[in-house]
Amino acid sequence: MAQPNVLILRAPGTTCDAETAFAFEQAGAKAELVHINRLLEHPDLFSRSQILCIPGGFSYGDDVAAGRILANQIQHHLAEHLAQFKAAGKLILGICNGFQVLIRSGILLEPDAQNGPPATLTVNDSGKFEDRWVRLEVRGAKCVFLSGIDAMYLPVAHAEGKFVARDADVLDRLESAGQLVLRYRPLSEDAGGGNSDAVPYPDNPNGSVAGTAGLCDATGRVLGMMPHPERHIDPTHHPRWTRGEAGEVGDGLKVFTNAVEYFA
């Protein structure tokens, strides 16, 4: 199997780079941490990787808005290179702050000239940062990263993760295109259930519209997600492993192995 190279993009304030690199390595990839300044100097660094990952953190302190400044840099200096990267059939993963960057830079959803960005991630309804575990339903038939996954149990840790679409049309379009690939589900499986999207707080931790926790682009090769798959790759990551509830490996590992196996 060919071992893909992963470019883990660092910026001032990136915090989850090391453990995300570790997760990719556990999955069999070769991970390289690259600072945004290096990429701005040498955009051809993209060419030696098959996977780009923008990990979690607080790029540029989340000043102005979460992910905004890094997204702005990408938009104005790297857009072309990223378009080529995508066109070459490569994979892009944004986790938490990385998701915020992907959505704000237009990589995930193309803005239209008239109305601007189709969707955003904004301040949680609770008004505060929260670290808690969520149950996710995967409706990810088209997303490379989520292939073969039905459900995941992962932690979220963010203050600005509420997904909001510009209007009902955008939401319908994303839904029918199968791009709303990750949905918050009730924590206790007997509660609610069915296909209702109205999952209340805290099971939907931020008030996201349609319980959206993750989103892929039209090709299924770009995924942005608020929950942290790299924080559930080891059985002892599971908050109830001492109760015998953890599996052999954590639910999140498959996100990374899917990416690696895509290049097998």
Partner 1 sequence: MLWEVDIYPAEGQPDLVAGQVARESADLGLAGDLAVTSARGYLIQAALDRRQVERIARELLADRVVEKTVVAAVGDEALSTPPEQDRRLVHVLPKPGVMDPVAQSALTAIADLEIEVEAVGTLKKYWIGRLSDEQFELLASKVLANDAVERVIVGPLDFDHLEVGSPYDFELVTVPIGQLDDEALQKLSFEGQLFLSLTEMQTIRDHFQSLGRDPTDVELETIAQTWSEHCSHKTLAGRIHYRDPDGERTFQNMRREPIFATTVKIREEAGEADWCVSVFEDNAGIVRFDDEYNIVFKVETHNHPSALEPYGGANTGIGGVIRDPMGTGMGAKPVANTDVFCFAPPDTPLDQLPPGVLHPRRVMRGVVAGVRDYGNRMGIPTVNGALYFDPRYLGNPLVYCGNIGLIPRDKSFKQAKPGDLIVGVGGRTGRDGIHGATFSSAELTSQSETVSGGAVQIGNAITEKMLLDVLLVARDRGLYNAVTDCGAGGFSSAVGEMGEQIGAEVNLDRITLKYEGISYTEMWISEAQERMTLAVPPERWDELNELCTSEGVEATVIGRFVPTGRLVLKYNDHKVADLTMDFLHGGRPPVVRDAVYTPAPIEPQPLPEKYTWDYTNELMQVLGSLNVASKQWVIRQYDHEVQGGSAIKPLVGAANDGPGDAAVLRPVLQSRRGIVVACGMNPCYGDLDTYHMAASAIDEAVRNCVAVGADPARIAILDNFCWGNTDRAETLGSLVRAALACHNVAAALGTPFISGKDSLNNEFRPEGADEPISIPPSLLISAMGQIDDVGRSVTMDLKEPGNYLYQIGTTKDEMGGSHFALVQSLTGGQVPTVDAKLAKRTFAALHKTIDAGLVRACHDLSEGGLAVAAAEMAFAGNLGLRVFLAQVPHEIELDDESIAEARHLAESIADEELHPLAGCARATAVLLFSESNTRFLCEVHPDNADAFEAALADVPHALVGEVADTGRLEIIGIPRPIPDEETDQPVEIGAPLVVEAELATLKETWQKPLAW
Nearer to partner 1, 68 or 86 (CB): 68
Is 16 a catalytic site residue? no
Q: How far is the CB of 89 from partner 1 (least distance, A)?
A: 29
225 beta partners: 95, 214
CA distance 5 to 3: 7
The residue whose two tokens read 């490996």 is 249
The reply on whether position 90 binds partner 1 by CB under 8 A is: no
Identify whether the C-beta of residue 229 lies closer than 8 Å to the C-beta of residue 152: yes
DSSP 3-state of 35: strand
Burial of residue 15 (CB within 10 Å: 0-12, 13-18, 19+) is middle
Single out the residue of 34, 43, 45, 68 in contact with partner 1 (rule: CB under 8 A): 68
Query: Which one of 96, 160, 232, 237 is the catalytic residue?
Result: 96
Q: Which residues contact 167 (CB under 8 A, 6 or more apart)?
A: none
Single out the residue of 3, 47, 77, 200 in contact with partner 1 (rule: CB under 8 A): 77
Q: Nearest 5 degrees, angle CA 255-CA 257-CA 258?
A: 65
CA distance 135 to 120: 22
7-26 positions binding partner 1, by CB under 8 A: 10, 12-16, 18-19, 22-23
Single out the residue of 24, 231, 253, 260 in contact with partner 1 (rule: CB under 8 A): 231
Nearer to partner 1, 23 or 220 (CB): 23
The reply on whether position 119 binds partner 1 by CB under 8 A is: yes
CA-to-CA dists, residue 91 to 4, 20, 48, 98, angstroms:
10, 15, 13, 14
The reply on whether position 239 binds partner 1 by CB under 8 A is: yes
Q: How far is the CB of 228 from partner 1 (least distance, A)?
A: 7
- Which positions touch partner 1 (CB under 8 A)? 10, 12-16, 18-19, 22-23, 35, 37-38, 56-58, 60-65, 68-69, 72-73, 76-77, 115-120, 122-123, 125, 127-133, 155, 157, 164-166, 228, 230-231, 233, 235-237, 239-240, 242-244
